[in-house]
Every structure is written in structure tokens, then in C-alpha cells.
Structure 1
Amino acid sequence: MAIAPEDMLEQLNKLAASVMGVRDAPEPVVALCCRVLGSTLATRAPRRDSSSTQRLRDVDALRTKVEKAKGARAALRFDELRTQLRDADALSVRGADGLVELLGLVSGDAQTAAPFASVCRTGGGFSRETPLEEETETPKKDWGLAGWRAGPPPSKTGLDVVEEERLLVRDCLYALQGIDGRYVSRDRSLDDTVPSVDRLVAPKLSTVDGVREVCELGWLYERCDRFCASTSTNEGRCRGALRAAVRDELSDYYRLVAVLEAQLRDEGLSLRRLLVWLVEPLERLRLLANACDACAPQDLQGGALCASLARLATHGDDRVRDLVEGLLAKTSEPVLAAIRRWVCSGKLLPDPAGEFFVQETGDEDDFWAARFCLRPRMVPAFLSEDVASKILVVGKTLTFLRRCCGDDRPAFASVSDEAFAYGSLNLEKVVEEAYERTNQRVLKALKEDFRLLDHLKALESCVLLAQGDFALQLVDGFDAAAQKRRGAFGSSGADAVAALDRAVRNSNACRLFEGAVQRLKVVVLEGDGVSFGLDYDAQPPIDAVVDAGAREFYGRAFSALRSRRRVEARLTDAWRSLALARRVRGLGAPERKALRKAALARNEMATLSATVSAHVADAFAGAWKRLDQDVSKADGLDAVRRAHRSYLDAIASDALFAPRSGIPEEGVPPDEDLAAGALATHLEAVLQAAQRFCALVDAFVADAVAGDSRAQTLAARLDDSTAHFRAAARRFTRLLKRASEDEPEATKLAFRLEVVGQAVE
């Protein structure tokens, strides 16, 4: 006998209140009962004994019937609902089992359940046409999608299961392309693509999971598509190549979707079969989307973009590695093309985005050292630092040969395209071969065509005043020109230029390389504005070795060495004056005694000066020998530059007594007396004392020969000047002995002074 739905709901309410022992049954309990009745569990059981044991047996029998009628899944669902009833706060275990038994009796046939379901909908429950709450909530798996959207169920579609699945698969194919369908759509309120099955009739958990995987694939596709569609104002070639590579991968995806649509049209395509088709594309699109996300920042350009992809390629899965390396091969094509042009011809491709790891700075002062530099961040991961440095040197050398040496030949007459392809094992070999070839060419041009060593020898002989006869004549001529410049009428500098020409013609400097001597030029020193110095006009390609820093050092060295040469000349003049004065008749005994003492003091000064000059000459010879050897063994222009810097360092420390560069030993306090060029300072004090002595000698001889009474006063001043010189000499030799503990050259000079008897204690 059929029961009216309204009566059934009222009876169920009363029955629940009676079983629970309350006046009115709580609404959640009634709603839960409606939900159980709406599931139409087709079971019928006779009324049993009211004992708890019998009731338990009836419930177990009811579960068995549910399992036979609906399967294991329905039985598990039955257990869940029964557990929920038992756990209700207002129900005891006995009352819950009784209610389950009663619900099994009243839901005995579908005719009773169908009209009852419509009433349950109005009462806040769910019909069997409505997805169960547990089945429509977000699955626990997280693919990066957030929140399912649920809505009210529509009226019955009247479709059978096959037709409903076909429509669902059709919507899944739409979702693969990012298009909303009837049953599967996106939540536009969220940033990410969120699938919704709010119009799907009675979905199963397996169906929901399957649709979710399909929607994840569509979501991944949209991520990749957004990457391909995004642009920037200063986009480089590498990023454009990566977008093209991603589009190529998506074209395979488009073909797959077309094949699936054809199968749906012709043969029919089930959801399970669709998922089988999408297993591999899902994994591939996940990798592709991760690659797009890793390369999304716009500041990643060129080699930095390739490095970001290369980090993804370090994977144990061959499929992952193959996919990323395929993208990397296409992305690195612009970089490899720039490497090829730079290595073969020394020219840079237009690079507005700054993608290539070689950068042109535009610095014209030091073409070799500063015109081109390396961008470490832009070096691709497939190139080591050593190979990248050699690539820089190869192109820089070719550019130097073309612009400075007039040699515009390429590094190779021809080279295969495979050598500059991604993953080529011959790239390093080609770079190494080009490195050796270009270095040999630039060394040959410097040493043979432009006679680099002859230029350096001229610098040593003339600017460093190693050529003795040239140095004495030049110092005298410059001093005369400076004296005239201090006069009333001044000097335009022509006298200094003439003095330079005379010194070259009248000395062995005329035998030097003419092209080098012609580059000597006179400059006015900035210190006093009246003294003259000597500079060297280094032209390309010699200026790659004798750069601005080297020329500045040569200028300082000339000033220091000229002071020593001036003292030598003054001591020679003093000897001449004393020798002539001794021949003068009519000199008194005091004057002759003063002349003898002055001659002995001059000999001491001349001996010390000559000893220092001999030491400097030996230092020049040793430094030049090492320079010649280093240049002969050099493998490139950088090695020649290092050899020249080492040569200048040796001159600074061994000849000028300047402090050596270096870091003091840990725990050893620095010696203040030896710091900041103390040796050079004390030697300068000794030479200045000798120069003042020579000036007093000239004045004394003039007064003594003239019979002037001031000669006795000057004789006393000569004694004081001699004592001052000897005190300065003692300080210098004492400091020299202390320095000889660490400096071999200082040891040699100290030994020389001790041998000649000039170490005054």
C-alpha cells in the first residue's frame, strides 16, 4: 500500500522523535533520514524482535541485501550512513539501529521512493538526481585547481547513460581547449581555471576525478598559451625562440585534440578511453607549463634564459630531459649564432636586449682591455667559464687585428654548421682552435710587423734613462731649458725639444729603432710648470701593451731617475771644479785643506752614486731578460701584457726601490720604516745632500780663487754638508740592511756598498 509523501514525512518525524525519546525530532536528524530514504536502497525486511541482538542481525541482513542489489560501493555507503547515525549526539546506538531498520522497511520499493524524493528536495534534502555532498566536494588530490562550483540541479534531462557520457566527453574536449561547456565550465571569479560539474546528473567519484584530470590538462594548456601570447617591449631573440618552441609543442597537442574529436564523432569516445589517451599529454604539458613558469620573468634574457632551462634539464627522467633539451636547443639558437659570428669574424650581431654574454662598452682609451667585456650572468649553462673566456678573447683578438693591425682575415675560411649546434661536442674544439690561431696571428703582428720589443727597448733606453750618454746630455739640456724658462723672457719648450734631438744624435740612442725614437715627445711637468719630462706616444697596436697606466709609470720613473742622473752630473762638475782649483797658485793653506776634504767627500758621494747606478743597470738587465723570455713564451696578447706589467713591477721594486705590492704575512706587524717606499725616500735624501754639497763646492771654489774672505765660511758649510750627507748615508745603509732580509735586490745593493766601503756605521 502506497503512503502519501506528506504522511510519510510526518510519520518519519514522529518515529524519529519516539525513538530518540524527545518531543520533536531535530531537523538535522530528519534531514539525514530523508537523505537515506532518497537514496532508494531497495531493501525489505520483516519486522523482527526488538532485542538489540536481533536488531543488529536485521541491520546486517539489510546491508547484505544492499550489497547484492547495488554492489560493494553502495554497501560501503550504507556503513558510512549508519556510522553517522550512531555518532549523532541525540541518538543512542540502539536508537540508531532501530531507525535504520525502520528506514529499510519504509523504503521498500521505488514507487514509494520516487514521490518521496521530490518532497525531500523541498525539505532541504537531496534526491538521487542530485550529486551527493561527499561526491561533489573537492577531491583530496591537488593539481593546483581550487574549489568546485556547485549549483542547483536542473530538471531531468531524459537522456540515457550513453548519451549523457557522450555529452560529458564533448565538454571535456572543450575543456582541453579552455572552452566552457554545458556540464564542465570554469569559475571566472578565480584567477586559475576551475572546473565545475554543477549540471552533471549523478556523477560518480571516478567521473569527477576523470573530469578533474581533463580540466587540469586544459588549465595547463592555458598556462602555456598565455606564455606564448605574452610580449614585452624589449623582448630578445632567445625568448622569441622559446615561444616558438612552445608553440611547436602545442601544435602536437592541437593535433591530438583534433583526433579525439574525430573519434567522438565517428566511433564514440568514452571518458575512460579519453583519460587513457591523455595520460602522456598530461605529463608532457605539466613539464611544459613548469618550463614556461620558470622562464616567465621578463628579466631572463639570452644566456640567463638558457641557464634557467638548463636547470630543469638536470633530471633523472629521460622524458623530462628530452623535452627540456628540445626547448633549450631552439632557445639557444640565437646565442649560438652570435657565438659563431663572434668567433669566426670578430663581429657582434645586433643585440638590443643584451642577450649575448660579450658586451661592447665603447671605451676607446684602452681598446684591448676595456672595449669588450664579459657578462657572467648571460653565459649559457652549456658553456664553462674557461670556454666563455676564450670565446671573448677570440673575437676580441679578431677585432683588434682588424682595427689596429689592418688584418681583416677571419679565423676560419669555412666551418660546419654542426659545430655551432646545441649539444655539439665540437664546439669547444672549434673555440680552442680559433683561440690558438688568433693568438699566433696577433703575436706575429706585434713582434714581427710592429716590432714591439724594439719599442720597449727604446722606452727603457730613453724614458728610463738606461742609455748613459743619452741620459747625461738630455738631463743637461732639460735643466738648461728649465733655467731659461724661469728667466724673464721664458721658454716655449722649443729648447727642450732641441735638447732631446741633440741627445739622440750625439749618443748611442741614434742606433735605436727609428720608429720608436720618433715617438718620444717633450712634456711640461705639472708640478712646477717649468721642468720638462719625457713621454712616449704609443700608437695602436703598441698601446695595447703600453697602455695609459704603463705610460703614467714611465713618466714617474723618468722623474725619479732624472734626479739621480742630475746628481751624477753635478758630482762630475764638482770634480772638475776641485781639480781646476788645486792648480790655482796663491791659495792659502786653509783653502787647500778645505779643497782636499771636499775632494774626499765628493769621492764618497760619487762612489755611492755610481754603486746605485750600477745596481740599477743590473736591475734593468735582469728585468729585460725576463721580459724577453716571457714575451717569447707568451700564448696571447694578455700574456704579453702580463709580462710587461711584471717588467714594470721589477723596475719599480729593484731600480726605484718602490714598495712591492702584496699582502703582509698574517700576525706580522708591518715595518713602518720600510713602508710607503722608505728606501726611495732615504735615497732621495742622500742624493739631495750630495747635490747641495756640489752647489757649495762651486761657490767655495769661486770665492777661494777670487781670494774672497767668504771662502772660510763656505769651507765650514762644506764640513756641515759632508756630515749631513754621511748621516743620511748611514740611515740609508742601515735601512737597506733591514730590507735585505726580504728583498734579494736590496741584499745585492747592501753588499755592493759594503764592498766599496760606503756602509758607514
Structure 2
Amino acid sequence: MPRYRDTMQPNGDAMECMPHEGDGSPTCAVGHTCVAVEESEFISDVLFMWMGVEKTKYFTYDATSHRYVMSAEVGTMRQRQAFLTLQECGWLAHQIDEVLRSTTTERSFLQQSLRSAMRQQLLQYHCLVASFRERRLPPMTFSDLVVAFKRVQPKLQVLFTILRETESVKGGELASKLQRLVQQGSTRLYALLSEVYMEAVSPLLYMAVSSITKGEISDPFNEFFVKSNPRIDNTSDAFWSSKFALLPEMLPTTVSRALAEQVMLVTKNVSFIRNCCRCKQWHMDPAIVTAAQGASFDTIGAVVRDAMCFTNTAVLKLIREEFHLDNVFRMVNAFLLVGNGGFYELLIDRLDPVLSRLSHMVQTSIVRDHMQSALLDIVPYTRHLDTDLFSMLQCEMVKDDKIIGWDAFLVTMTVPSPLNNIFDVTAMKVYRRLFRIMFKVKRAEVALKKSWRQSVVLDRIIGRLHNTSREVIAWREVAADAHLLGLQLNHFVNNLWSYLVAEVSTVSWDLLMKALRQCTSLDEIRAAHIAYLQYLTLHSLLHGDCASMRQNIESVLSIVRQYVGAQALLTSLLERGNGDVFSIKSEYQRLTDDFQREITSLLTTLEEQHLQFDFLNFLLLRLNFNHFYHDTMFGNNTEF
């Protein structure tokens, strides 16, 4: 790095040129007499030195001390003293030229632009100095030379300061430093530096204009305040969230954080339209393009706001009209949230013999075939769903030798670009959790419907028994116990399903549709979708604070599964006409005790926490209206 010195301090060797006391003749080094230089010749050589050349007739640039030195044999004391001051212009010009010849510009467009502006200013300076040298009438005097020095030295000094202060920075940091250095009290210097500043930051402005009009960032040296991630593919569900990022350290002082975020949003919009939505022929409004090309950092804010409104509208129109966002949301509600009850009743009936085994023994292809068959069966009765989107639906099986197929079954959706930026991996994980709890309750509801029909069959079988009166009475008592437990389980499951449908799915859907109608950008749609998932997660008891209640509910659903199995066993025993009536009776008693324990724990937790979460009031009201379970436990409920 070049060495810099303070040009306002006199050179140490200059003392050699001072006259000795008692001797009026000018002297140089000790023992030498200096020859006076003609004033015109001295002025001409000083002006030549101001060009920053290495050597003139009387002056030579010393690379070691980084200053000019005057020949020892010439110059009066006055000329040498004048030289000490006047040589600063030559030194500054030489230093500026030395910096401009360095290779730093290879790493920065803004550095290249700044140095181009500096070269232009240096060229104008050289032309001015050349005009001084060529002046004949009237010829340059020493006073004119001093005036010229006072005219050009401040400009050279500030240009050199700019180069020195910005030598190791680039991008927004360089623009910010330039902005501070431009603030000068002198009107002439301010005008000069403003011109340099505008030229230097022009690449940054060009990047901003290119990004908001084309959605492209041409920034090989990482100088722009918006960065593009090349590892994010156009079809990735992380395109919207991760393709572009704001670099606060690259923000120039003339660009606020809010404006930079708007620039990034417009860039994302344009790139999203052309790459994710595959609308290669789409173009920005020509009026906005024209305004952007003529804008500066002081005026680009209005252009960016217009571009933001224009591109937001274009993005929303595409995802709603071309990619049918509302229809996809209906699919999600119908299948991932088990909203299409008819389809799932049909599917559960068909999958019953398949998913009753351990999950690792279930062939996914068979499950998939049953699902496709059920989808085809509901097509004639589907009015509010786009059947062309059924191809998005997929089923999955988690292979685990410790769980049965019902607990391993999942329905998911593969949403393609660009809508996968709304239904991304994170959202789909939430939908998986929601599906599991919804599907468990739905399956319990369907199973209890079958169990109710099974109870009727049991009554008919018992009526045809020809066993002794004592045995018939015992079987009737077992059937009554089963019937009573079935009624209690039906009450719980039906009210739980009613809560999930009415208070969770329906309310959240209405809130989502209302929010979507008010959205003006894709960011707002994503925010509305996230709020929708948060509402569903909390009200479906999937929130961490609701873990104990969720565990109680899942335990009751497990009791439902055991109850259905006990009903099948009871039917089999009665059809054979023999069996251990006491063992099956004790099984029903165990299930009843387990149910009472779980429901008591659940209701206790609901009563304790319903003040913390308002929505728990609705669940508590549905499950225990008029203290239903309290009366049941104490024998006061006469519904059965």
C-alpha cells in the first residue's frame, strides 16, 4: 500500500535550503551556492511538476520519501520556500495517479466506476494545468501561480482523500463513505464531488433498476444489498423465503431499510412470475421501466412503490386465476383436514381389512389402489372440488413393526411450483399432525357407527338363545354393559368430532377466506396461511400446552378401538353359543373404568385451563354439557 504523508508539514530536508545568517546570498546545501531560476522558467517547471510526472527540469519525485525534491544547485531561498508549498499539487496528482493504476478495481464495479470518475477529474485537472503552461498573454506570474494553487489544491486534496478512504471498501459501504465525504461546505467542492458520487454509485443504481425491472441481480462482486442464492432452484418450495436475502451491511446511507426491503420484494415478485410461474413473456409496465431508468437514489423510492403495487397484483392474479389457489385450499380442507366425510367413510370401510395389521406388513400399493378407487367413486358427487387436482393427493405408510396400519396411514398432497411456496415443507408437516388427529377421530366415529349396528345384531342373537335362563340373563347384562359403554363413547366421539368440524375447521376456514380476500401480496397470503395453521394447531390441541388433554383424547380413542374389538369378540361368542361370559364382562368393566379415568382427567384439565385458552370453553361445553359425565359417574343420568 502506498505511504501517505501530511502535506501541510514542511519537509525536513527543506531546512538545507534556508539562507545562513549574516549572508544575504541564497544558499543550498552547506558549502554550495544556489543559482536563481528565471521566474517564468520556475513557474513553467512547477506547472509541469503539477502534472504528477516523475522528473522535470528542476524537480524530481522521490519514491522513498514520497515527495518532490528540488535540484540542489538551483533556486533562491524564496523559490525553495515556495516550492515546499507548491509541490503539494504535484505530490497529490502523483499519488492519485498511483492509486488509480493499482489493481483493486478488479474486485468491485463501484471501485471501477469511482476510479473512472477520478480519471475524468484528473484529466480535467491536467487540461487546466496545461492551459496555464500555454498561457502567453498575459504571461503567468508568481501571484497567478499562487492563485492557481489555491484553486486546484483543495480539489486534489479531497479527491485523494476519497481514494484513500474508499480504497478497501466496496458496494453499499463504499457508497455510504462517499455520501459522507461529499458533504462539503464549499459549493464548488460539493458540485465536484456530487458528480463523482453519481458516477461512482451508478453501478449500484443500475443493479437496483435491473432487479426491479427484470428480477435479475447482476452482482459478481457481491456489492448489491440484495443477494441471490444460486443453490435455490426455481421449483423449490424455499424460493420465496430463501432465494433472495437482504444484506444490511451493503446498504448505502441513501437507501433506507424499508426501501431496500421493497426493492427485494419487487425483485422476488418479478423473478417469481418469470421463473416459478413460468411466464417468460411477462414484462414490467413500460412506464415504470422508463421512470426507473431515469431515477436516482433520491427518486427511486416512488418508482419502487409503483413497481411493488404492479408486481403484487400480477403475482396474486397468476396464483389465483392460473394456478387456482382457492381450489387447492378446498382440497386441503377436504382431504388433509378430513373435511370430506363421505370420502373418508368410504375409504375407511375399504381399508379396514388392510390396515388392521401391523404397518410393516401393509403393502403401500394396495392402500394406494383403494384410495384411488374411493376418489373415483366420489367424483360424480363432488361439486365444490376440482377433480383435476386429485392427482396431487398421495398416501403414505410409515413402516414400523410396533404400530398397526391405521396409525401409520397418512394422506398428503404434493403441491407443485409456484403454490409450493405457500404449501411448503414446514406447512405440510403441520398438516400431517392435523391429519393424524382428525383421522383418528373420524375413524373412531365410523367404527362406533358400525358398533351400534353390531349392538342390534347382538340383541337379536341373545333373543334367539336357548340356554338356561341364568345364562341368558348373564349375556344380557354383558350386552347392556357394552351398550352403555358404547353410548358413552359415542357421546364423546360425536361431540369431539362436532367440535373439530364446527369450532375448528369451519371457523378457521372462514377466517382464512376473509384474510385471503384482503391480501394484496404473496407475503400476506403466506402470513394468512401461517395464521390459519397456528389456529388449527392450537384449537386441535396440538399445542405444547395442550399435551395432557391430547393424551387423554388419544387414550379414549384407543379405548374405542378396544371396545370395537370386544364387540366383535362378543358377537362371535354369541354366534357360537358358548364362551366365558365373565371374562368378556370383566373386559367391558376394564374399558369402562379406563374411560372414566381418562374422561375425568380430561374434564379436570379443561376446567383448570379453560381460562387460559378461551376455545377450551367450547370443548368443555360440548363434552360435559349440564355436567353430563358428573351425573353419569354418580348414577343420576337417565339418558341411558
Check whether TM > 0.5.
Answer: yes
The residue aligned with 1:572 is: 449
Report what 1:189 is aligned to.
Answer: 64
Distance of 1:556 and 1:635 partners within structure 2? 30
Offset of 1:479 from its aligned partner? 4.0
Give the C-alpha shift of residue 410 in structure 1: 0.9
- The structure with higher relative contact order (CA 8 Å, sep 6+) is 2
1:211 maps to what in 2? Answer: 83
**Alignment check: 8 A CA contact 1:697 1:718 kept:** no
Matched, 1:740 2:624: no
Q: Is the 2:359–2:400 Cα contact (8 Å) retained in structure 1?
A: no
- Alpha-carbon deviation of 1:418? 6.0
Matches of 2:399 and 2:94, distance apart in 1: 71
Contact 2:212 2:304 in 1 (8 A): yes
User: Is the Cα contact below 8 Å between 1:358 and 1:375 reproduced in 2?
Assistant: yes
In 1, Cα distance between equivalents of 2:89 and 2:580: 112
Superposed counterparts of 1:408-419, under 5 Å: 408-415=281-288, 419=292
Equivalent in 463, 474, 493 of residue 365 of structure 2: 493
Whole-angstrom distance in 2 between the partners of 1:253 and 1:233: 22
Q: What CA distance in whole angstroms lies between the structure 1 residues aligned with 2:45 and 2:329?
A: 83
Partner of 1:274: 145
Matched, 1:617 2:485: no
- C-alpha deviations, 1:73-126, integer Å up to 9, x for none? xxxxxxxxxxxxxxxxxxxxxxxxxxxxxxxxxxxxxxxxxxxx7xxxxxxxxx
SS in 1 for 2:394: strand
- CA–CA distance in structure 2, aligned partners of residues 485 and 500 of structure 1: 22
Distance of aligned partners of 1:259 and 1:495 in 2 relative to their CA distance in 1, 3 Å threshold:
closer
**Residue type of the alignment partner of 1:491:** Q
**Structure 1 counterpart of 2:170:** 301
Q: In percent, how many aligned pairs have the same letter?
A: 20
2:210: which partner in 1? 341
Contact 2:27–2:33 under 8 Å retained in 1: no
TM-superposed CA distance for 1:459, in Å, is 0.9
The equivalent of 2:252 in structure 1 is: 380
**1:134 matched to which residue of 2?**
none
Cα distance in 2 between the residues matched to 1:208 and 1:475? 105
Q: Separation in 2 of the partners of 1:441 and 1:447?
A: 10
Q: 1:440 aligns with which of 285, 296, 313?
A: 313
- Are 2:115 and 1:243 aligned? yes
Distance in 2 (CA, whole Å) between partners of 1:513 and 1:627 is 19
Deviation (angstroms), 1:182: 5.7
Query: Is contact 1:604–1:758 with CA below 8 Å preserved after alignment?
Result: no
CA distance in structure 2 between the aligned counterparts of 1:628 and 1:439, rounded to whole angstroms: 19
* Structure 1 counterpart of 2:154, from 272, 283, 307: 283
Deviation at 1:705, TM superposition (A): 4.4
Native 8 Å contact 1:221 1:285 kept in 2:
yes
SS in 2 for 1:381: coil
The corresponding residue for 1:112 is none
Cα 1:130/1:315, change in 2 over 3 Å? closer
What runs of 5+ residues in structure 1 fail to find an aligned partner? 1-36, 41-116, 118-126, 132-150, 661-673
Bigger mean CA offset, 561-570 vs 166-175:
166-175
Q: Is the 8 A contact 2:519 2:525 kept in 1?
A: yes
| 1:536 aligned residue | 413
Matched, 1:643 2:537: no
1:594 and 2:478 are equivalent in the alignment: yes
291 and 543 in structure 1: CA distance in 2 versus 1, 3 angstrom threshold: same
Q: How does 1:285-684 map to 2 (within 5 A)?
A: 285-297=156-168, 300-349=169-218, 351-362=219-230, 363-364=232-233, 365-366=236-237, 367-407=239-279, 408-415=281-288, 419-421=292-294, 423=296, 426-483=299-356, 491=363, 493-503=365-375, 505-506=377-378, 508-509=381-382, 511-527=384-400, 531-584=408-461, 585=463, 586=465, 588-618=472-502, 619-655=504-540, 657-659=541-543, 674=545, 677-684=547-554
Give the alignment's TM-score, normalised by structure 1. 0.72
Cα deviation, residue 422, structure 1: 5.7
Report the alpha carbon displacement of residue 513 of structure 1 after superposing the two structures with TM: 1.1
Give the count of matched residue pairs.
Answer: 594
The one-letter amino acid paired with 1:482 is L
CA distance in 2, matches of 1:305, 1:559: 55
Asked whether the 8 Å contact 1:473–1:503 carries over to 2, the reply is no
Contact 1:465 1:561 in 2 (8 A): yes
Displacement of 1:559 after TM fit?
Answer: 2.1
Question: What are the superposed Cα offsets for residues 17-64 of structure 1, whole Å, 9 maximum, x if unpaired?
Answer: xxxxxxxxxxxxxxxxxxxx9744xxxxxxxxxxxxxxxxxxxxxxxx
Select between 226-235 and 330-339 the one with higher mean Cα deviation: 226-235
Counterpart-to-counterpart distance in 1, 2:57 and 2:532: 84
1:262 to 131, 134, 137: 134
Cα deviation, residue 749, structure 1: 0.8
Distance 1:634 1:689 in 2: 45
Residue identity opposite 2:207 in structure 1: A
Could you tell me whether the CA contact under 8 Å between 1:474 and 1:500 is conserved in 2? no
Q: CA deviation at 1:156?
A: 5.0
In structure 1, how many angstroms separate the alpha carbons of the residues matched to 2:226 and 2:130? 45
Residue type at the aligned position of 1:555:
R
What do residues 439-484 of structure 1 show as CA deviations (whole Å, max 9, x unaligned)?
Answer: 1111112222322111111111111102222222223334433347
1:291 CA drift (Å): 0.9
| 2: CA distance, partners of 1:561 / 1:419 | 52
Match of 2:637 in 1: none
Q: Which runs of 5+ in 2 are unaligned?
A: 1-18, 466-470, 634-640
**Deviations 1:374-396 (Å, cap 9, x if unpaired)?**
33333333222222222222232
**Aligned-pair CA distance for 1:524:** 2.3
Within-5 A mapping of 1:109-128: 128=25
CA drift at 1:239:
1.8
Q: Contact conserved, 1:303 with 1:355, CA < 8 A, in 2?
A: yes
Q: Kindly name which structure, 1 or 2, has the bigger radius of gyration based on alpha carbons.
A: 1
